[in-house]
Homo-oligomer: A and B are copies of this chain.
Amino acid sequence: MTSVHLDLGHASYDILIGSNLLADVSPIVRLLPLPKVAVVTNVTVAKLYLAPLQAALEAQGVSVLPICLPDGEAYKTWETLNQIMDQLLASRCERKTTLIALGGGVIGDMTGFAAAIYQRGVPFIQVPTTLLAQVDSSVGGKTAINHPLGKNMIGAFYQPRLVLADLATLHSLPTREYAAGLAEVIKYGLIDDPEFFVWLEQNMGRLMARDTTALAYAVERSCRNKARIVIADEREEGQRALLNLGHTFGHAIEAGLGYGTWLHGEAVAVGMLLAARASHLLGQLSEADVARISRLLQAAGLPVEAPTLGFERWLDLMAQDKKVEAGRIRFVLLRAMSQAYVTHLDTAQLRQLLS
């Protein structure tokens, strides 16, 4: 087991990474202010991991309220959030009841947001069971739900007290979801970790085979990269925006096709490639570098062709994103390989890129 520490001053927590961590719940139990938790999960994950987690907690004297939601990004809504609230209230959960998110990014984002606003805030623990959640969404305290007019539009910055990333859970992931997680792993290499990018080029075969040692390394290095950026800028007033590499395009794809049609990681993969192409158009990245990125994404089983949305629709969807400042759409591009930076593109540039 390795551990990445995230210290934000007002909040500080460990990300524990290892195989079969769910077999020992004492790191969770140690942090509970009251021996009472609500485990929020979805129907798919519940079948695999809810019973053992619940049994392990109960064996240590913790009372467990399981809250089981439908599975999928399409359910990351007010209505589903309200189901959590209803059950917490019906079971009279108090301010010291801890919420545990057991699942992927959708469950983590919704449970974190529920913890942020239930009785103005209750303790919260992340148990991510997808690669995407382990390397990205469970770390850093961004929580949210979607709105028909935009992704993650309603949410809070709310840090967990612990992230428990059990690599064993990744073996049950469907291929497509696993690949979607690799998109965020590749992102860290592209933002500012060239050594990691090369490592990924050399080890994608092992990662695709879900080799435990390679996975442990990739998850830990991703978490370290993310932790470093979040510590420097928790509320995204500066460099945290770099983590959005591929996301302005990606969110437009997700919203444009309807949430859940493309997985978030798939949309981000194409978004990163579009960012690379835009960087090439600006003369910052060679054709060869763009091809290198495309090859790595393909090796990870990710799409590299943007869906056809039509230029006006692209523009409209991106203008709706949170990444808008004073009416200009913000993008993360590459100054060179592994040198991401924040900028704005004008309509003419976007038209050239997207048509």
Chain B residues, Cβ within 8 Å of A85: 147, 153-154
* A116 CB–B CB distance under 8 Å: yes
Query: Interface code A322-355, partner B: CB below 8 Å = 1, 0 otherwise?
Result: 1011100000000000000000000000000000
B156–A121 CB distance below 8 A = yes
- Asked if residues B325 and A149 are in contact (CB atoms below 8 Å), the reply is no
- Contact partners of A94 in chain B: CB under 8 A: 322, 324-326
- Asked whether, in the complex, the Cβ of B156 is within 8 Å of the Cβ of A144, the reply is no
User: Is A30 an interface residue when CB atoms closer than 8 A count as contact?
Assistant: no
Number of interface residues of A (CB under 8 A): 38
Question: How many monomers of this protein are in the complex?
Answer: 2
| CB closest chain-B residue, reference A322 | B119
User: Contact flags (1/0) for A97-110 with B, using CB distance below 8 Å?
Assistant: 00000000000000
Residues of A within 8 A of B (CB): 10, 34, 78, 82, 85-86, 89-90, 92, 94-96, 113, 116-121, 142-144, 147, 149-150, 152-157, 235, 319-320, 322, 324-326
A89-B320, A94-B325 given; 15 more Cβ-contact pairs under 8 Å: A78-B78, A86-B147, A89-B153, A90-B149, A92-B319, A94-B322, A95-B322, A96-B325, A116-B156, A117-B117, A119-B322, A120-B156, A120-B322, A121-B156, A121-B235
